[in-house]
Amino acid sequence: MQTQMLIDGRWTDGPDSERIEVLDPATGDGIAEVAAGGPAEAAAACDAAAAAQPAWAEAAPRVRSEILRDCHRILMEHSDELADLITLEHGKPRADAVGEVAYAAEFFRWNAEETVRIHGTIGTAPGGDKRIITRHPPVGVVVMITPWNFPAAMITRKLAPALGAGNTVVVKPPREAPLTALRVGELLAEAGVPPGVVNLVPTTASGPWFDAAVDHRAVRMVSFTGSTEVGRVLLRRCADRVLKTVMELGGNAPFVVFADADLEAAVTGAMVAKMRHSAETCTAANRFFVEEPAHDEFVERLAAAMGSMKVGSGFDPDVTCGPMINPAAVTNIDRLVQGAINGGASAVTGGSAIGGPGFFYEPTVLGGVDPAAPITREEIFGPVAPVVSFTDTDAMIAAANDTEMGLIGYVYTEDLARGLNVSERIEAGMVGLNRGAVSDPAAPFGGMKQSGLGREGASEGIYEFCETQYIAADW
């Protein structure tokens, strides 16, 4: 198990007094102590990234592309080991962890293909007086901060396009789940990523760490995935040096079921949208709007599916819902559930925290939820499905859009015209139409409104890590 930080191709311990204790959320027991850096280590990592950047950017795209392909290969070859680490430190069921590794690795294969297709343009200006040439050099040194809910994929979704475009990076892995990131760093080095191109510095003091990185002269960009609350703080700080930013922030996804939907498919999709990765995803369905004639049957079927889930350690092959990340997460979920119940909702199944050891919450379906209850406005990040019924489509869409978030929405209907019409009216960067999962390295992932800035994946993803230079030319 790698527990040191990576700076300039060397694994080091950093200051002795600083260690991060990583807990197994299924038991609450400590599993490892990881080296933690402060501002000095963040700055040293930025120095290393700055020194490595020119040569990496000058390597032929094909050279970078083939290293990215090898990164895909090596991550897949170590899928079992990485999935074990993910389940150990995050807690998600191991099948979800295996899925995460494949998703994480696929960003390298997709971006290996994109790396050799970063094209500029050439055209004649409308006035005929010059040629307009555009090209896309890398941004330079990029700082990346990622959350704990996908310990591998949230890092590779940034790393692969950034490296493909010719950038070098300094990553702050999540404090709760840094072990997977460190092992991924080791494997990338084995696949041929040169020293200094990827630096990994966990920390116990993210504010001072981030200040040092932002103030480093070589740093030109910050790519962040995490909560909207923290994203706002980082954006303000990035303004001091006018840094380019990509922000992948929180969600509050509506999941809409029309009465004509195939209810079996809708419940299957709801379980995927709500419960994958133990319900700790930014894309998790947060509010269910079900058209009145289908409401009772949908609630009954969803409650049956949720009520039959097995909760426990992600290593138990029968478990479909693992632990929450920490006790604070359980407390927050329970605050939202009890608030909804006090406001008139009823727990059709579940409704309580499960006593320790470990940090567990019962898969819960809430019926009769007040559409204005906090549980419909805040990100639950846990296995709880609040259901609201609707009769008027316009009013439902207004309610679905009545949030600062705009990451994703889901629509189930057999009427494709209505499905597309409602999808277009949902203010979200992504919509699942008769689908409970949308994530794909070949598709642009990202949010509207306060769910984020920029996109990860697809062709857009690699251009986020590029500048646009225009050359006005005469010959």
Report the residue from 147, 323, 432, 461 that binds ligand NAD according to the rule CB under 6 A: 147
| Nearest distance, CB of residue 57 and ligand NAD, angstroms | 26
CA distances from residue 312 to 25, 36, 149, 288, 319 in whole angstroms, order as listed: 10, 30, 17, 25, 6
Binding mask 94-133 for ligand NAD (x = CB under 6 A): ----------------------------------------
State the residue number with the nearest CB to ligand NAD: 226
**Active site amino acids:** 248, 282
Q: CA-to-CA distance for 238 and 247, rounded, in angstroms?
A: 12
Q: Which stretch binds ligand NAD (CB under 6 A): 125-133, 167-175, 339-347, 387-395?
A: 167-175
Residues that bind ligand NAD (rule: CB under 6 A) add up to a total of: 27
Closest CA to 201 of 388, 408, 48, 79: 48
Q: CA-to-CA distance for 419 and 166, rounded, in angstroms?
A: 40
Residue closer to ligand NAD (CB basis): 18 or 248? 248
Residues 265-304 that bind ligand NAD (CB under 6 A): 282
Instruction: Please state whether beta strands 244-248 and 219-225 pair in parallel, antiparallel, or not at all (unpaired).
Output: parallel
Report the residue from 140, 178, 196, 226 that binds ligand NAD according to the rule CB under 6 A: 226
Q: Torsion over CA of 193, 197, 198 and 201, rounded to 10 degrees? A: 140
Binding mask 236-255 for ligand NAD (x = CB under 6 A): ------------xxxx----
Report the residue from 56, 107, 110, 210 that binds ligand NAD according to the rule CB under 6 A: 210
Closest CA to 432 of 413, 448, 451, 456: 413
Report the residue from 15, 30, 54, 207 that binds ligand NAD according to the rule CB under 6 A: 207
Instruction: Give the pair of three-digit tokens for residue 247.
Output: 């922000």
Angle of helix 228-239 relative to helix 206-215, nearest 10 degrees?
A: 30
By the rule CB under 6 A, 154 interacts with ligand NAD: yes
| Nearest distance, CB of residue 384 and ligand NAD, angstroms | 15
Report the residue from 225, 349, 389, 450 that binds ligand NAD according to the rule CB under 6 A: 225
Q: Residue 56: phi, psi to the nearest 5? A: -65, -40
Query: How many CB atoms lie under 10 A from the CB of residue 346?
Result: 12
By the rule CB under 6 A, 439 interacts with ligand NAD: no
By the rule CB under 6 A, 223 interacts with ligand NAD: no
CA distances from residue 167 to 136, 163, 432 in whole angstroms, order as listed: 12, 5, 32
| Nearest distance, CB of residue 416 and ligand NAD, angstroms | 28
The set of residues, in sequence order, having a beta carbon less than 8 Å from that of 434 and lying 6+ positions away, is 261, 265, 269, 411, 412, 413, 419
By the rule CB under 6 A, 367 interacts with ligand NAD: no
In the chain the first and final C-alpha atoms are separated, in Å, by 59
The set of residues, in sequence order, having a beta carbon less than 8 Å from that of 146 and lying 6+ positions away, is 154, 155, 158, 171, 172, 173, 174, 181, 224, 225, 226
By the rule CB under 6 A, 206 interacts with ligand NAD: yes
| Nearest distance, CB of residue 54 and ligand NAD, angstroms | 27
Q: Which residues bind ligand NAD (CB under 6 A)?
A: 145-149, 154, 172, 174-175, 206-207, 210, 225-227, 230, 233-234, 248-251, 282, 379, 407, 447, 452
